[in-house]
Amino acid sequence: MEDQNVGTDPINSIRMFNVLESIGKPAALYMYPYEDHGQIARETLMDQWARWIAWLDKYVLGEPK
């Protein structure tokens, strides 16, 4: 949410998320407070990896979580 890269304004992510939801595609948007263009905080990284693993389990392995 604190991204200093002007080309990646958070509004673009919000718009993409809204479009995907409006056409019925599964989508999730997670915006971490106090993080810049890349995640640094241990809690943020752990949450991000847990979400990626859950996605892989669901969509690649077919195991619902």
Q: Are 39 and 1 in contact (CB under 8 A)?
A: no
Q: Tell me how far apart the alpha carbons of residues 5 and 37 are, in angstroms, rounded to a whole number.
A: 7
Q: What's the pLDDT at 2?
A: 66
Q: Structure tokens of 46?
A: 């752990």
Which tens digits make up the pLDDT trace of 8-64?
778 888 999 999 999 999 899 998 888 877 788 999 999 999 999 998 999 899 876
Helices marked H in the chain: 10-22, 42-56
E-only strand ranges, the chain = none
Q: Tell me how far apart the alpha carbons of residues 37 and 16 are, in angstroms, rounded to a whole number.
A: 17
